[in-house]
């Protein structure tokens, strides 16, 4: 887990920055579930290879210590962007952000970095919130990008 993420959810920062609903739901969840697993976590503060073929990428903005993963195996690449991009429209309009992004300017910078990487590396991309299966490719289009979902066999 990114150290900044751990620090945010386990310190007073979250209480100062979150709205009441987020405190009630997210902070309560974090405070109940993070301490019991602390001994099983390695906190990182820089981009690194976690295990062979899986690299942690700094992706701050949605949350202070949000991270993405770059996974490679046998010449294939998968970029997991998680909550950096919440909707396919964010590819066409990467400067748009949502109310739950903690640092809007930072999420836009991070989003551009990750989408550029996905397009340049031609990496299969996993976008957690996109329609099933959330897997596809990022294609350059004008000043932004376009989502090209994978074809599902048998559909």
Task: Determine the pLDDT at residue 152.
Answer: 73
CB of 10 within 8 A of CB of 30?
yes
**Tokens standing for 92?**
């066409």
Task: Determine the pLDDT at residue 127.
Answer: 97
Q: Is residue 4 part of a domain?
A: yes
Q: Is residue 116 part of a domain?
A: yes
Check pLDDT > 90 for residue 141: yes
Q: Is residue 154 part of a domain?
A: no
Residues 53 and 38 in one domain: no
Task: Determine the pLDDT at residue 22.
Answer: 85
Non-local (6+) Cβ contacts of 90 within 8 A are: 96, 111
**Number of domains the chain contains:** 2
Residues 25 and 53 in one domain: no
Residues 38 and 76 in one domain: no
Residues 89 and 27 in one domain: no
Task: Determine the pLDDT at residue 155.
Answer: 56
Residues 65 and 141 in one domain: yes
CB of 77 within 8 A of CB of 70?
yes
Task: Determine the pLDDT at residue 100.
Answer: 85
Residues 69 and 19 in one domain: no
pLDDT tier at 23, thresholds 50, 70, 90 = confident
Check pLDDT > 80 for residue 154: no
pLDDT tens figures, 35-60: 999 999 999 999 999 999 999 999 99
Residues 52 and 116 in one domain: yes
**Tokens standing for 36?**
């019991």
- Which residues sit opposite 145 in a β-bridge? 140
Q: Is residue 115 part of a domain?
A: yes
Query: The domain containing residue 84 runs over which residues?
Result: 46-149
Q: Is residue 77 part of a domain?
A: yes
Residues 26 and 60 in one domain: no
Residues 99 and 25 in one domain: no
Q: Mean pLDDT over residues 4-23, rounded? A: 90
Task: Determine the pLDDT at residue 124.
Answer: 98
pLDDT tens figures, 66-111: 999 999 999 999 999 999 999 999 999 999 999 889 899 999 999 9
Q: Is residue 20 part of a domain?
A: yes
Give the containing element (helix H, strand E) for 71.
strand 67-73
Residue-averaged pLDDT of the chain: 94
Q: Is residue 60 part of a domain?
A: yes
CB of 144 within 8 A of CB of 94?
yes
Residues 13 and 86 in one domain: no
């Amino acid at each position: 887990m990114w150290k900044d993420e751990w620090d945010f959810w386990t310190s007073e920062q979250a209480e100062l920055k979150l709205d009441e609903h987020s405190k009630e739901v997210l902070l309560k969840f974090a405070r109940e579930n993070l301490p019991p697993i602390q001994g099983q976590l390695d906190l990182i503060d820089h981009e690194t290879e976690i295990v062979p073929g899986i690299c942690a990428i700094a992706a701050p903005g949605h949350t202070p210590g949000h991270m993405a993963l770059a996974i490679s195996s046998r010449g294939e690449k998968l970029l997991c962007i998680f909550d950096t991009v919440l909707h396919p429209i964010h590819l066409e309009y990467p400067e748009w952000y949502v109310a739950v992004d903690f640092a809007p300017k930072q999420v836009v910078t991070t989003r551009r970095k990750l989408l550029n990487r996905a397009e340049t590396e031609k990496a299969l991309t996993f976008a957690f919130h996109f329609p099933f299966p959330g897997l596809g490719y990022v294609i350059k289009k004008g000043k932004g990008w376009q989502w090209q979902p994978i074809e599902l066999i048998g559909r």
